[in-house]
Amino acid sequence: MRILVVEDEKKVSKFLQQGLEEEHYSVDVANDGQQGEALASAQAYDLIILDILLPRKDGLAVLLELRKKSINTPVLMLTAKGTTDDKVSGLDSGADDYLTKPFSFSELLARVRSLLRRGAAEKSTLLKVADLQLDTVSHRAKRAEKMIELTAREYALLEYFMRNVNRVLTRTVISEHIWNYNFDTGTNVVDVYINHLRSKIDDGSEKKLLHTVRGVGYVLKDE
């Protein structure tokens, strides 16, 4: 799952990014409204955490513009304003939920999970490809009856592949989804992580699932 955090307080945005990445989410950060709107318009996100009081363009204006563009990504408004009128304004502008500062990270995380479930209700929490299984709630993976230990980045990669089974994914698409918009695609980090993941899910199994498409990218096959 990929989340955009639009927050001008760098201390807060860094805290949110670190906490969400520890929960296996891929996170992009924008520090003003214009940058946030540009990213949300150009990239596909599963959730946007949007502050209201932002430089260059306030969060309500950003949200209204996104909804005009038919970008229906779930939005969690995050702000120091906490009056009923403020909440109504945010919800009327197209927000899906509202959280007032200061807040506990556990509460924010619960709201994030709720919105992601609501925004992707059709997505199963138990993914299966051949005898490979991934539980997106417990973050546990297994092949046949063998449990597989995954790092946060390996988990994100595997979930992305399993949600796009039999689809060839380019290195650029993978890096943009699993890392962030300013990731250096000139490095071999994607290939390194793919090799680590492949060794964990395919080694010891007769049927290989993760394949290289030379000159293009990678594909998880269930054929």
Q: What is the DSSP string of 147-172?
A: EE---HHHHHHHHHHHHTTT--EEHH
The band of 187, judged by pLDDT with boundaries at 50, 70 and 90, is confident
Predicted confidence at residue 176, as pLDDT, reads: 74
The domain locations on the chain are: 2-119, 150-220
DSSP conformational letter for 177:
H
Predicted confidence at residue 79, as pLDDT, reads: 80
CATH architecture of 2-119: 3-Layer(aba) Sandwich (3.40)
Query: Is the fold of 2-119 the same as that of 150-220?
Result: no
The band of 136, judged by pLDDT with boundaries at 50, 70 and 90, is confident
- Residues 131, 180 contacting (CB under 8 angstroms): no
CA 175 – CA 215 distance, rounded (Å): 16
CA 213 – CA 198 distance, rounded (Å): 14
Closest-CA residue to 195 (of 184, 207, 203): 203
Predicted confidence at residue 201, as pLDDT, reads: 95
Reply yes or no on whether the pLDDT at 185 is more than 80.
Answer: no
Predicted confidence at residue 181, as pLDDT, reads: 55
The band of 122, judged by pLDDT with boundaries at 50, 70 and 90, is very low
Q: Is the CATH code 3.30.460.10 the one for domain 150-220? A: no
CA 59 – CA 79 distance, rounded (Å): 9
- 149, two tokens: 């230990």
CA 18 – CA 88 distance, rounded (Å): 30
- H or E element that contains 41: helix 33-42
Mean pLDDT of 121-138: 80
Mean pLDDT of 111-117: 87
Which one-letter amino acid corresponds to residue 87? K
- H or E element that contains 211: strand 210-213
Whole-structure pTM value:
0.62
List, in sequence order, the alpha helices (H) in 69-169: 84-92, 105-119, 152-163
Predicted confidence at residue 179, as pLDDT, reads: 74
Encode pLDDT of 52-84 as tens digits. Answer: 999 999 999 999 999 998 888 999 998 876 666
